[in-house]
Structure 1
Amino acid sequence: MTPNPSESSLEEFHLQVKRPVVSEKPEKIVIVYQNVLIYTAYHIFAIYGLYLTFTSVKWPTIVLGVILWTLSILGTTMGSHRLWSHRAYKATLPLQIFLMICTSIACQLTSYNWVRDHRMHHKYSDTNADPHNAKRGFFFSHFGWLLIKKHSEMKRLGETIYMDDVHSNPVLMFQKKYAIPLMGSLCFVVPVLIPMYFWNETFVNAWNFNILRFILGVHSICSINSFAHLFGSRPYDESIMPVENMGVSLVTLGEGFHNYHHSFPWDYKAGELGNHWLNFSTASIDFFAKIGWAYDLKTASGAVVEARIKRTGDGSYKQKNRIDCGNFKEKNIGL
């Protein structure tokens, strides 16, 4: 039985458990041709959807697409990432159900699979046990990892990942059990039927534009694995690959502060700056905290952040710019 980590920090628990040695031996790439065909088809539909966007798609369809893209990204950042992977805050049942619906709209694996892979990514970051190991190049870390079989080190070390909290979460297990009807309907059926029924959008327009929305969501999140591990500064820890990339924050609603996030993964803000226009995910958590749906928000104290900058930063940190993120209770953690 896997020991139960403390409520304060899942990452602190991982540090207490000796990490197995990861083999860096390269393996033969085995292409999953089914995935290649499926994603190729998605991209063809998306490209045609982009053309239709400028020629015949109605404005209400575009507005709906923007709303669904935003919900899908928030489901991933607020739910699969900060809430369920890192337990950086707690959420009431209504908020958890809402976020589960949002992750179903995104259709980027179930949250169960997302949490497992992301915990692998943090525990074995940029090694062969990392699902999207950035050391294997930009294309692999961005999208290629979805098209080939997993490295044997991922399979071997997968059992070392703590998942008891996920197994005991009825919302996540419900999504896992009914993944196909939930994600199939919320990502691919309902977004097509709504514009067709309510404002007489054509099927061709509704389908292809929705696939464009879906693919843009996939690439937005994938940019964290690629751009935010390869192009940017390391003001908090120069010894790790993750970087600060403001462009990634724009397309992910706040996930581009990646050097900070890997330095302080328990921080619900996933960035030092907190609630501001580049971190809409944090602003959304703050909103739900104010109405009582999110609570026990964890954050790294200013003193701890400053000490880390001085100890391991690359010298690019220019100015202390910490923003008060609300009047609700936060848990300052100093590790």
Structure 2
Amino acid sequence: MPDVKAPLLHSDPETVEDVFDHTYKEKEGPKPPVVIVWRNVILMTLLHIGALYGISLIPVASKLTLIWTVVCSVFSALGVTAGAHRLWSHRSYKASLPLRIFLAIGNTMAFQNDIFEWARDHRVHHKYSETDADPHNAVRGFFFSHIGWLLVRKHPDVIEKGRKLELNDLRADKVVMFQRRYYKLLVPFVCFFVPMFVPWYMWGESLWVAYFVPAVLRYTWVLNATWLVNSAAHMWGNRPYDSNINPRENKFVTFSAIGEGYHNYHHTFPYDYASSEFGWRLNLTTCFIDFMCFLGLARDRKHVSKELVLARAQRTGDGSHRSG
């Protein structure tokens, strides 16, 4: 039987972690000291220097190597957007075992923490958005929400709230737990060796170019595209669905993060598998999920009804809503 999108007329009871916790109160008094993780600072600095050098090598890279770089970029990005985000964090659709394995491999190539940790932190982000318990609290500025949160120790509230989340669905997923168990062994091979080895072995690209372009540059690009959802999409753009929250609709982020920049919509309706009301428009991730449903590898997509979207936009939006 073909999959049919199920319109939701109200908040989905299965996604309780999506609901913002209005009972949470930030502690009064002095904030805990910021502890810099110098290892991360050094590694991120070297990574970005390597990526800049990788850009300089693009003119000497073969066309096949550049195509391979794009393929790896999209594959690893889907491991985050369609996998860790829409599937495992929000449970907005269901995926078969082969698709879950495919997405887990893509997520490993993306190297943004294992699926379990990524989904846990993202659920905390939604439940305590823009507070001390938010891992990448945008109130602390662009740099912090973009990359700075990875360069310092987590705020104690992030750790405390993360431990209290219900994560049994993640623990019950054998693909998630297998990846978590062997993550440190898999990452060097999947994220760096495979992207480098294929162009060197298959069409004779130099190892130097193969390492710095499809491995280092590709990895850094996907990282920053993902981070823009936490930073730029929480600061710049309109808020057609809910003007009371920070997340915005940001077209640049939507393009660079293959569909994740419809962020005011996503924080208003986090259980929608499409993260947007506009279908495939600038949304490669939604195209991918729909194609997987067509192939029978995914099912039970959750989608917000147009009536609910319009009613919410009229009630809480900033007046900029344009459907269609």
Q: Smaller-chain TM-score range?
A: over 0.9
Q: Who is 1:255 aligned against? A: 260
- The 10-residue stretch of structure 1 (23-32 or 223-232) with the greater mean CA deviation from structure 2: 23-32
The structure 2 residue matched to 1:103, chosen from 92, 102, 107, is 107
AA aligned to 1:221 is: T
Alpha-carbon contact 1:107-1:187 (below 8 Å) kept:
yes
Deviations 1:141-173 (A, max 9, x none): 011111111011112222221211001100000
In the alignment, structure 1 residue 52 sits paired with structure 2 residue 57:
yes
- The 10-residue stretch of structure 1 (98-107 or 10-19) with the greater mean CA deviation from structure 2: 10-19
Alpha-carbon contact 1:275-1:286 (below 8 Å) kept:
no
With over 3 angstroms needed to count, the CA separation of the structure-2 counterparts of 1:213 and 1:104, relative to structure 1, is same
Larger RCO of the pair (alpha carbons < 8 Å, separation 6+): 2
Q: CA deviation at 1:204?
A: 1.3
* Structure 1 Cα separation of the partners of residues 163 and 24 of structure 2: 11
User: What is the aligned residue count?
Assistant: 312
The structure 2 residue matched to 1:264, chosen from 255, 263, 269, is 269
RMSD: 1.6
Deviations 1:211-237 (A, max 9, x none): 000000000000000010000000000
Secondary structure at the counterpart of residue 15 of structure 2: helix
In structure 1, runs of 5+ residues without a counterpart are 1-6, 322-335
Q: Who is 1:91 aligned against? A: 95
* Structure 2 Cα separation of the partners of residues 21 and 273 of structure 1: 35
In the alignment, structure 1 residue 189 sits paired with structure 2 residue 155:
no
How high is the TM-score relative to the length of structure 2?
0.93
How high is the TM-score relative to the length of structure 1?
0.90
Alignment of 1:1-335 (within 5 A): 8-12=12-16, 15=19, 19-23=23-27, 26-54=31-59, 56-209=60-213, 210-276=215-281, 278-317=282-321, 319-321=322-324
Q: Share of identical aligned residues, percent?
A: 44
* Structure 2 Cα separation of the partners of residues 240 and 84 of structure 1: 24
Q: CA deviation at 1:11?
A: 3.4
Alpha-carbon contact 1:10-1:266 (below 8 Å) kept:
no
- The 10-residue stretch of structure 1 (116-125 or 200-209) with the greater mean CA deviation from structure 2: 200-209
In structure 2, runs of 5+ residues without a counterpart are 1-10
Q: CA deviation at 1:8?
A: 4.4
AA aligned to 2:47 is: Y
* Structure 1 Cα separation of the partners of residues 33 and 21 of structure 2: 31
